[in-house]
Structure 1
Amino acid sequence: MNTPVLTPPQGAGAEHTVAEIAQQPALWREVGRIVAGQRTALDAFLAPVLAAEDLRVVLTGAGTSGFAGDVLRTALARHLGRRVDAVHTTDIVADPRGCFAEDVPTLLVSFARSGDSPESTAATALADGCLSRTHHLVITCNAEGALARAHGGQSASHVLLMPAASNDQGFAMTSSFTCMLLAALLALGPSSARSAVGALADAAERITTGALDAPVEKLLAREPERLVYLGSGPLRGLAGESALKLLELTGGRVVAHADSTLGFRHGPKAILDDRTAVIVFVSEDAYTRQYDLDIVAELRAALPDGAVVAVSARPDGLPEDGVWLVPVPAGTEDAAFALPAVVCAQLVALGASLARGVRPDNPFPSGEVNRVVRGVNVHPYPGN
């Protein structure tokens, strides 16, 4: 690759994907304004729901949308002092009674780019059918989607619409993912998140304007056949989304795997060979960070030079080389750090796709995998 990652050759089939990665800093600032403008209505809707001491918050979505919940789960649990679970809609639809075994007051937070995937509306309907008290916070990028239309104007629902430009037209979710993740953090997370939007957008802007182009190109020049993403806590969810992005944009030509920092040693480490690269998202939590530093050191000793990359907000405890710094303010929580950090993974996926001659906007031209999932038969559930 001899050109910046976000300026591929004309005709490469990457127009939408490139624009949607690059627009994220501006869209995050817009999301901040949207949530601030709805603060009074959001608080009026959420306050009585969150007051229930036995409340269960369920973060749900499919694929990338589901990973938004995985990133946010522990951060929101700590802030809200309530049980928070991330349960993908695909699990809810297949096993609703298992996912909603306890009939407790539940806030279902649904993430959906289009809102037209069959599981999106099915999951909310199944929650209503299985539970006595359900409220819905719908975070979606498509005002005309089935999910937004089903919940608009409902007293037990609040629909939080993302900027229209976040309804990505490229195959893979990029700006839709980060906008919805940020919106949920602003709506349900600590007030400190509201003042951090500008700094997070600034950090992402540095990445999208070339700060990491050379390191990304250096990693991709190795032509890895397998790429592993690792992270702990919220960054475990980020690892999952990062691996999915690579798998999608390369049309499956690069084997992508994600795991937790500690879990990787328990069998999945078998994926490693001399054509494997590893990217470790390093936690900002002082305790958790120790485990991330351990795995970085261990893998650097086992793999060829340049095969292991640490993505971190600061260099403390890390080697001088192989570190991609994401310039967020000191003390940024991992769920917020995930926003600019995922841009690194998006650039890796885009670059790997282009290097293999895949068209990122449509990696599956024969239609075996679709932008909006097709072919799902939602079967009637007894009692609903």
Structure 2
Amino acid sequence: MTTSTGTLSVDDGAAHTVREITQQPDLWREVDRIVAASRETLDAFLRPLTARGDLRVVLTGAGTSAFAGRVLQPALARDLGRRVDAVATTDLVADPRGCLAEDVPTLLVSFARSGDSPESVAATVLADRMLSEVHHLVITCNEQGRLAREHTGRPSSHVLLMPPAANDRGFAMTSSFTCMTLAALLALGGEAYTGVAERLAAAVESITGKEAVDRTAGALVDRAPERIVFLGSGSLKGLAEESALKVVELTGGALVTVADSSMGFRHGPKAVLNDRTVAVVYLSNDPYTRRYDLDIAAELRGNLPPRSVVTVSADLGDGTEGSGDDAWLLPGLGGVPDVALALSAVVYAQLIALRASQARGLRPDNPFPAGEVNRVVAGVTLHELRD
């Protein structure tokens, strides 16, 4: 049975995923209000820390939550003028002595949809054990999750809760990813991002109508690719990694995906190309960086069959965005930093993943009905760290 939401068709097994993709503009506005309402307490917690020249900021999470950190890292390093590292909880828990080798004052920013993944709490426990001074900013979508419960009320912690609807019920993280990333950007990035949530919301509302989706994600999936390459630079490399993961998740691993930087792709990963490959290149808003993105897009158009390369760009109106159905534009986002651009651009990847899943007869809300991969990671044994 197929029904219509007014924007996207909903096959059985896709209702949660469709709703969670299309609700993002409204949730971003709500996140903006939440951070604004928390500004006084956030500033009281964060400002004394970010004023310290010896502070290290570590952005951590697992899977999609780790990619939130990779999207944010370049921008926050620049905005804060401090050392900022994106370190997955899966790396931190497996190698705490390497990831936390420097005993310096640290702000650990934890991203977690549920907060119940084994690594989420373990990462904070290990940081407390290994560092002389560590503070925790917990950004989560689940008030009842273990991570939120264990850090609420602690003097060295601040828990920032996302709107309840951001706790995605579908298998793949969509609105949870963008809401947590936006919240961190607004909390740590300061006044530079005032008003950006509304601009991002308006841009996405313009691209999620059924006709627009048919022309973009639908048309790409109709080409029946067997491989999809996602490329971007800086914050948009983190976006490329999240995009690749989304397609793998929702297609149950049936589609091969590769993510890399626009320049790095030539150094080996380009070997993945064949005549059934399509490429999505995210174009930076930074004029200098954008040149490298445009270079790889042009090169790929010479390597692949016609209409196999798509660019995703803010609508700058300067001609560099390209034209036609292979230039996917985000209106009203000229001049926004790439870290913010990524939050609207990722919706295109979410739509590709959704359409590709449906095209294979899968149920996007649960593309692994046998439980090979779980919505909340299971089966992890946490081992004792011995001194």
TM-score range for the pair, normalised by the shorter chain length: over 0.9
Distance 1:205 1:232 in 2: 25
Distance 1:30 1:243 in 2: 27
State the Cα distance separating 1:374 from its structure 2 match: 0.2
Q: Once superposed, which parts of structure 1, at least 4 consecutive aligned residues long, lie more than 4 Å away?
A: 3-6
Give the residue type in structure 2 aligned to 1:319: G
Q: Which residue is 1:270 aligned to?
A: 271
Q: Which residue is 1:96 aligned to?
A: 96
CA-to-partner distance for each residue in 1:232-264, whole Å, 9 max, x for gaps?
A: 000000000000000000000100110010000
Q: Which residue is 2:230 aligned to?
A: 229
Does the alignment pair 1:326 with 2:330?
yes
CA-to-partner distance for each residue in 1:142-187, whole Å, 9 max, x for gaps?
A: 0000000010000000000000000000000000000000000000
Does the alignment pair 1:348 with 2:352?
yes
Aligned partner of residue 374 in structure 2, secondary structure: coil
Q: Which residue is 1:124 aligned to?
A: 124
CA-to-partner distance for each residue in 1:342-362, whole Å, 9 max, x for gaps?
A: 000000000000001111000
Residues 246 and 256 in structure 1, CA contact (< 8 A), matched pair in contact too: yes
Q: Which residue is 1:201 aligned to?
A: 201
Does the alignment pair 1:85 with 2:89?
no
Q: Which residue is 2:259 aligned to?
A: 258
Residues 212 and 324 in structure 1, CA contact (< 8 A), matched pair in contact too: no
Distance 2:203 2:213 in 1: 11
State the Cα distance separating 1:6 from its structure 2 match: 5.2
Q: Which residue is 1:360 aligned to?
A: 364
Distance 2:333 2:236 in 1: 17
Alignment of 1:1-384 (within 5 A): 7-11=8-12, 13-210=13-210, 211-314=212-315, 316-321=319-324, 322-383=326-387
State the Cα distance separating 1:207 from its structure 2 match: 1.7
Distance 2:132 2:10 in 1: 55
Aligned partner of residue 344 in structure 1, secondary structure: helix
Q: Tell me: CA distance 1:5–1:239, structure 2 relative to 1, closer, same or farther (3 Å).
A: farther
Give the residue type in structure 1 aligned to 2:14: A
Give the residue type in structure 2 aligned to 1:83: R
Aligned partner of residue 45 in structure 2, secondary structure: helix
Distance 2:92 2:191 in 1: 31
Residues 57 and 83 in structure 2, CA contact (< 8 A), matched pair in contact too: yes
Report how many residues are paired: 382
Q: Which runs of 5+ in 1 are unaligned?
A: none
State the Cα distance separating 1:196 from its structure 2 match: 1.4
Give the residue type in structure 2 aligned to 1:349: A
Distance 1:164 1:113 in 2: 10
Aligned partner of residue 191 in structure 1, secondary structure: helix
Aligned partner of residue 125 in structure 2, secondary structure: helix
Aligned partner of residue 90 in structure 2, secondary structure: helix
Residues 166 and 175 in structure 2, CA contact (< 8 A), matched pair in contact too: yes
Q: Which runs of 5+ in 2 are unaligned?
A: none
CA-to-partner distance for each residue in 1:321-350, whole Å, 9 max, x for gaps?
A: 310001133210000001110000000000
Aligned partner of residue 252 in structure 1, secondary structure: coil
Point out the more displaced range, 311-320 or 331-340: 311-320
Residues 67 and 238 in structure 2, CA contact (< 8 A), matched pair in contact too: yes
Give the residue type in structure 1 aligned to 2:217: V
Aligned partner of residue 190 in structure 1, secondary structure: helix
State the Cα distance separating 1:221 from its structure 2 match: 1.0
TM (norm. structure 2) is 0.96
Distance 1:367 1:114 in 2: 18
CA-based RMSD of the aligned residues comes to 1.6
State the Cα distance separating 1:301 from its structure 2 match: 1.1
Distance 2:74 2:102 in 1: 20
Aligned partner of residue 173 in structure 2, secondary structure: coil
Distance 1:229 1:358 in 2: 22
State the Cα distance separating 1:4 from its structure 2 match: 9.2
TM (norm. structure 1) is 0.97
Give the residue type in structure 1 aligned to 2:88: H
State the Cα distance separating 1:5 from its structure 2 match: 10
Distance 2:278 2:373 in 1: 26
CA-to-partner distance for each residue in 1:295-331, whole Å, 9 max, x for gaps?
A: 0100011101110000000363243231000113321
Residues 246 and 350 in structure 2, CA contact (< 8 A), matched pair in contact too: yes
Residues 314 and 321 in structure 2, CA contact (< 8 A), matched pair in contact too: no
Aligned partner of residue 124 in structure 1, secondary structure: helix
Q: Tell me: CA distance 1:9–1:190, structure 2 relative to 1, closer, same or farther (3 Å).
A: closer
Aligned partner of residue 190 in structure 2, secondary structure: coil
Q: Tell me: CA distance 1:313–1:85, structure 2 relative to 1, closer, same or farther (3 Å).
A: same
Distance 2:343 2:6 in 1: 19
Distance 1:6 1:259 in 2: 31
Distance 1:131 1:92 in 2: 13
State the Cα distance separating 1:10 from its structure 2 match: 4.0
Residues 28 and 197 in structure 1, CA contact (< 8 A), matched pair in contact too: yes
